[in-house]
Amino acid sequence: MMDLTKGQWVKHVVTHPFEGFEDLRWKKGGSMKISWFIVFLLFFSVLAYNRMYGFQYYSSYDKIFNLVPYIFQSIIIFLTWVVANWSMCTLFDGEGTMKNIFINTAYALVPYIVGSLLCTFLSHSLIQDEYIFIQTISIITECWTVILLISGQKAVHQFTFGKTLALIALTIVAMVAILFLLVLVLTLFQQIAIFIMSIYTELSYRIRV
Amino acid sequence: MINWKKSIAAFSAAMLAVTAMTASVSALEAYDPYSYDRWKDAVPSQVGYVAAYNVDGRQMGCEKLVEPTDMFLAADNLMYITDKAGEVEINGVKEKFPSRLIITDLDFKVQRIMTEFNYNGQTLTLKNPSGVFVSEYDNTIYIADTENSRVIHCDQDGNVFSLYEKPNSELYPADLTYNPSKVVADKAGNVYVVVKSVNKGAVMFNKAGEFLGFYGANRVEATAEVLSRYFWNLISTDEQKANTIKTTPIGFSNFDIDEDGFIYTVTESTDTDTDIVKKLNPRGYNIFNNANVNNVKFGDYPPAYYSIYTKETSLVDIDIGENGELNCLDFNQGRIFQYDKECNLMFIFGSTGEQLGSFKSPVAIESYEDKIYVLDSRKSNVTVFTRTDFGDIVTTATNYYNKGMYEEALEPWKEVLKYDGNYRRAYIGIGNALYNSGDYEGAMKYYKTAIARDRYDRAYEGYRGDYLRENFDTIMTVIIIVVILLLILSDRKKKGKLDFKRMFENMKREEVRLK
């Protein structure tokens, strides 16, 4: 029973929102490789959604193209979620390891990625009046991802439903805190870099004279 | 990939061409001509109007203009200029001038100068008038005699019909000053007076001089401050309310009336974007208060590009051109913004400074056919702008376009693009012509270049319909083949091998079941 390959496990988990993650946990069917691939796909779907969307729905500001916001919207947010969730679950006596949280979250994102890629594709063949189809698809896939996310959290930490919701809320708070500290650290390092640069400039002028 | 590289090469070539073109033009002008693109960024453009010459008081034949305040071009092609009283030095001799109304022809040769008016045997003089209007229906003159607190209505010989003085009404607070600055009159002889101290709109009189009320007040822009004041007013007591600052709109500063009797107003304020330019019907309703025009920001988008200073636009005068163009005069930057009658930006020209085509204190604008006249009160002269070839083509194309004659507009728009590849409306114009002729694919291309999303959507709908109709056979064949393949595959999964006979039996059974 349940002797699936790593790829088949993804399908099993996504199509069985309520017991899929439990099976995954007991059979240890998750794969970091596939998870990283899904995170990369998430990045690509965000990029496609912002830059390759049908012109009749959305026109991006073409004078500037900067990858950083898209990396932030996908990979950074994902990693922050994993770290914040792991830090919070240790306080709540959750059973999940960092690796398992990573895998569960990545697998839960599959419907969202598929949905947004599908919407991007459809946006090229539909007109504005038919936007309802795109909207339906995106709402369904987003709800699906949320359900998977909750059930994944529940399975990986072996929590009750209420405790899972509380954990998710606290995770979001922790994410905000982490991102704030990150920005703070970055600014600090920037200041140090500017300081060193100005010392270098000063010295180089002095030496020349 | 190759395509992408090609388009980049083409784009940079186009940019080079544009830079080269504007460089050659700006050598003639005192400023860099520019326009705004879809993203509200300033982009180099071609000049629509060039300053041809300017005329001062000596050239007109009235020795000197002291400080001209307003200019009006009447239907009989005479120019009426109001001038303040003052003392000026001419060839080392100080000379005193009274307040004058100077009437010139279109070449600015003085025809008459009016200083005295006859009112029932009494002689009236002007005191620093700042507005003049001539009715196109009976050719009578209205003068806003500012410091005498009255509007004079007289005929061409200076015989006064009536005076419009401070209204004696409950609606007009007694402690409010009445210094008329601008005046217009409509077909019925109703007189509209802009008074600086009144922010409820123009003061309106009927022909007999009775005060009728206020006309066409601006709306208040819903800023955060206004909203918070509204919120506090809901919960404060009457006593507290009496002590709070009242939220009042900003009064408009100038107006013009068109042939159909619509009154166009401009508001000088730089603090608000609401109701900067309005088109009022006789009931005082703003026709420009619609989804299209409410999105238009009249004047420069902040920060004002193409100048060292980032002063905001402050429109002091408006004039309606022969095709319904709106010529708006910006006092702060000395710029003239010309919009077509649908409020699409056509040209921006003019600047501040000493050179020809730039101003120190522009106060009034008028237009006649392809000429635009701007009165400068500190330079005491009138600058005459003439339309360039580029301006002519754009005007032709815009006129056809606004009449809905898209096919006729096609050639002029193509010509426009030869002059200025940044001119966005040309792409939309060509797109519309192609769309009407059924070339949806071509229209899509032009709409995409213009970033006109909604129009692109419509063109795409047409293109998709055509495509599906033409390729119906192919598409249906592909669908049928795919369906058959899927059936075969699912059958193989069940049985493990291909069995056509059983498959057809299954299909038949299915059909029977469906029936």
> Do the domain assignments include residue B357?
yes
Tokens of B46: 């071609």
Q: pLDDT by residue (tens digit) across B202-217?
A: 999 999 889 999 998 8
Tokens of B281: 């019907």
Best of B43, B445, B456, B464 to mutate (most A CBs within 10 Å, chain A):
B456
> Do the domain assignments include residue B8?
no
Give the pLDDT mean for B251-265: 90
Predicted pLDDT of residue A151: 94
Residue A123: closest C-alpha in chain B: B457
Q: Long-range contacts: B34-37, Cβ < 8 Å, 24+?
A: B34/B305, B34/B306, B34/B348, B35/B345, B35/B347, B35/B348, B35/B420, B35/B422, B35/B423, B36/B301, B36/B345, B37/B422, B37/B424
pLDDT band at B1 (very low <50, low <70, confident <90, very high): very low
Predicted pLDDT of residue B511: 77
Chain B closest-CA separation from residue A51 CA (Å): 15
* CATH code assigned at B444: 1.25.40.10
B334 and B430 in a common domain: no
B53 and B158 in a common domain: yes
* CATH code assigned at B25: 2.120.10.30
pLDDT exceeds cutoff 60 at B300: yes
B505 and B455 in a common domain: no
pLDDT band at B303 (very low <50, low <70, confident <90, very high): low
Chain A residue numbers touching B461 (CB-CB < 8 A): 127, 129
Give the pLDDT mean for B86-91: 86
B510 and B463 in a common domain: no
B227 and B251 in a common domain: yes
Predicted pLDDT of residue B25: 44
Interface of B with A (CB under 8 A): 39, 41, 448, 451, 453-454, 456-457, 460-461, 464
B323 and B406 in a common domain: no
Residue A131: closest C-alpha in chain B: B457
B447 and B482 in a common domain: no
Give the pLDDT mean for B362-384: 93
Chain A residue numbers touching B457 (CB-CB < 8 A): 56, 127-128
Q: What residue numbers bound the domain in which B440 lies? A: 402-470
Size of interface A-B (CB pairs under 8 A): 22
Q: Which of B360, B387, B414 is at the close of a domain?
A: B387
Q: pLDDT by residue (tens digit) across B424-475?
A: 999 999 999 999 999 999 999 999 999 999 999 999 999 999 999 999 999 9
> Do the domain assignments include residue B394?
no
Residue A167 dihedral angles phi and psi, to the nearest 5°? -60, -45
Distance, CA of A41 to CA of B148 (rounded, Å):
77
Chain A closest-CA separation from residue B284 CA (Å): 37
- Give the amino acid at A17: P
Give the pLDDT mean for B352-358: 89
Chain A closest-CA separation from residue B344 CA (Å): 21
Chain B residue numbers touching A128 (CB-CB < 8 A): 454, 457
**Interchain pair B451, A127: CB under 8 A:** no
Q: Do residues B100 and B113 make contact, with C-beta atoms less than 8 angstroms apart?
A: yes
Give the pLDDT mean for B267-289: 86
**Interchain pair A127, B461: CB under 8 A:** yes
* Number of other CB atoms surrounding residue B395 within 10 Å: 22
Residue A60: closest C-alpha in chain B: B451
Predicted pLDDT of residue A153: 93
**Interchain pair A57, B453: CB under 8 A:** yes
Residue A4: is it exposed, middle or buried by C-beta count within 10 angstroms (0-12/13-18/19+)?
A: middle
**Position of tokens 């009449």?**
B403
Predicted pLDDT of residue B205: 93
- If you average pLDDT over every residue of chain B, what do you get? 86
**Interchain pair B39, A61: CB under 8 A:** yes
Predicted pLDDT of residue B19: 47
As a 3-state breakdown, chain B gives helix, strand, coil percent values, each rounded to 5, of 30, 30, 40
Query: How many domains does chain B contain in total?
Result: 3
**Interchain pair A63, B39: CB under 8 A:** yes
What is the pLDDT tens value at each position of chain A, 209 positions in all? 567 888 889 999 999 988 899 998 888 888 999 999 999 999 999 999 999 999 999 888 888 889 999 999 999 999 999 999 999 998 888 888 999 999 999 999 999 999 999 999 999 999 999 999 999 999 999 999 999 999 999 999 999 999 999 999 999 999 999 999 999 999 999 999 999 999 999 999 998 76
DSSP conformation class of A128: G
Chain A closest-CA separation from residue B440 CA (Å): 14
- Which residue among A55, A125, A129 places its CB closest to the CB of B453? A55
> Do the domain assignments include residue B397?
no
Q: In terms of pLDDT, which residue wins out, B380 or B238?
A: B380
Predicted pLDDT of residue B419: 92
**Interchain pair A56, B453: CB under 8 A:** yes
Predicted pLDDT of residue B2: 45
Predicted pLDDT of residue B293: 86
Distance, CA of A100 to CA of A201 (rounded, Å):
49
Predicted pLDDT of residue B18: 47
Chain B residue numbers touching A129 (CB-CB < 8 A): 461
**Interchain pair B41, A61: CB under 8 A:** no
Predicted pLDDT of residue B7: 53
B225 and B203 in a common domain: yes
- Which residue among A56, A58, A61 places its CB closest to the CB of B460? A56
How many CA atoms lie less than 13 Å away from B98 in the CB half-sphere? Answer: 11
Chain B closest-CA separation from residue A117 CA (Å): 21
**Interchain pair B457, A63: CB under 8 A:** no
Tokens of B137: 């229906």
**Interchain pair B456, A61: CB under 8 A:** no
Distance, CA of B248 to CA of B219 (rounded, Å):
9
> Do the domain assignments include residue B44?
yes
Best of B12, B40, B453, B475 to mutate (most A CBs within 10 Å, chain A):
B453
Chain A residue numbers touching B15 (CB-CB < 8 A): none
Closest CA to B98 of B127, B72, B70: B127
Tokens of B457: 């959507």
Residue A130: closest C-alpha in chain B: B461
- Which residue among A56, A61, A129 places its CB closest to the CB of B456? A56
Predicted pLDDT of residue A33: 94
Best of B15, B460, B463 to mutate (most A CBs within 10 Å, chain A):
B460
B205 and B338 in a common domain: yes
Residue A62: closest C-alpha in chain B: B39
B411 and B267 in a common domain: no
B243 and B309 in a common domain: yes
- State yes or no: cis peptide before B68, omega within 30 of 0: no
Residue A46 dihedral angles phi and psi, to the nearest 5°? -65, -45
Q: pLDDT by residue (tens digit) across B41-67?
A: 888 888 999 999 999 988 888 888 999
pLDDT band at B20 (very low <50, low <70, confident <90, very high): very low
Chain B closest-CA separation from residue A126 CA (Å): 8
> Do the domain assignments include residue B395?
no
> Do the domain assignments include residue B278?
yes
Q: Which of B387, B418, B449 is at the close of a domain?
A: B387
pLDDT exceeds cutoff 80 at B348: yes
**CA angle at residue B333 from B329 to B339, to 5 degrees?**
35
DSSP conformation class of B286: B
B459 and B371 in a common domain: no
Q: Which of B339, B362, B387 is at the close of a domain?
A: B387
Residue B462: closest C-alpha in chain A: A127
**Interchain pair B464, A125: CB under 8 A:** yes
Predicted pLDDT of residue B23: 42
Q: pLDDT by residue (tens digit) across B73-85?
A: 998 899 999 999 9
Tokens of B496: 């493990």
> Do the domain assignments include residue B5?
no
